[in-house]
């Protein structure tokens, strides 16, 4: 981020200067002025060149950021794989109950995140395969389920036992609701 600050503070100079009017090819003085203008407008300092080189290297590198996970928008799985895995992933989400009862909060959060991510991908793939008329209702149920999963995660982080059990019960209801409609 520190490399981009000097680029923001300094106005961007165009690489190819555009004259404000169309030059007259018969006017030699105007042609000389235009040539001089082109030669003087390409003034790059070492700092600007270094910043352009560094930012182009960063932007054009082949490595992707860890924060971007495009699997949810374009799943790498087929409908059959999602249908086969949805029951096992739903069971693993519900098995978080054992960790919550033992009040091993960190392990419960890790297991919750892992199982919910896999279940989320399965459900999303199945919803995308459904006819267009059924999708809005299923997306709403999907949203309710995984928003409740997030709330449970936060409650486990805060070690708030009453909220943890409230959200866990809501997850069980939401999961049964969405699985019965898929």
pLDDT tens-digit readout, 129-147: 999 999 999 999 999 999 9
Region 13-30: mean pLDDT is 54
Give CA–CA dist 169/148, Å, rounded: 10
Question: Is 83 within a domain?
Answer: yes
Q: What is the pTM of this model?
A: 0.58
pLDDT value at residue 68: 46
Mean pLDDT of the 18-29 span: 53
Token code pair at residue 164: 């943890």
Domain contains 49: no
Name which residue leads in pLDDT, 128 or 57: 128
Among residues 136, 134, 141, 135, which one has the least CA distance to residue 174? Answer: 141
Closest CA to 75 of 119, 141, 140: 119
CA distances from 114 to 53, 107, 173 (A): 39, 11, 20
And the tokens for 179? 């699985």
For 49-72, what is the mean pLDDT?
Answer: 58
What CATH number is associated with residue 105?
1.20.120.290
Distance CA 93, CA 176 (A): 12
Q: Let me know if residue 123 belongs to a domain.
A: yes
In a domain, 90, yes or no: yes
In a domain, 48, yes or no: no
Domain count for the chain, please give it: 1
Per-residue confidence band for 148, with pLDDT thresholds at 50, 70 and 90: very high
Burial of 94 (0-12, 13-18, 19+ CB in 10 A): middle
Is 104 contained in some domain?
Answer: yes
Average pLDDT, the chain: 77
User: Is position 116 within any domain?
Assistant: yes
* Residue 6 forms part of a structural domain: no
């Amino acid at each position: 981020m520190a490399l981009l600050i000097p680029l923001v503070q300094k106005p961007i100079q165009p690489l190819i200067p555009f004259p404000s009017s169309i030059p007259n090819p018969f006017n030699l003085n105007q042609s000389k002025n235009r040539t001089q203008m082109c030669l003087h407008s390409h003034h790059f300092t070492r700092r600007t060149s270094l910043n352009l080189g560094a930012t182009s290297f960063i932007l054009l590198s082949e490595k992707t950021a860890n924060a971007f996970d495009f699997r949810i928008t374009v799943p790498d799985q087929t409908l059959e794989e999602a249908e086969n895995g949805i029951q096992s992933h739903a069971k693993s989400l519900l098995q978080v109950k054992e960790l919550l009862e033992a009040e091993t909060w960190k392990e419960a959060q890790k297991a919750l995140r892992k199982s919910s991510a896999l279940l989320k991908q399965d459900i999303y793939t199945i919803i995308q395969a459904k006819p267009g008329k059924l999708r809005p209702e299923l997306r709403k149920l999907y949203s309710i389920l995984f928003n409740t999963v997030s709330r449970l995660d936060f409650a486990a982080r805060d070690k708030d036992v009453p909220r943890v059990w409230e959200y866990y019960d809501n997850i069980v209801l939401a999961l049964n609701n969405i699985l019965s409609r898929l």
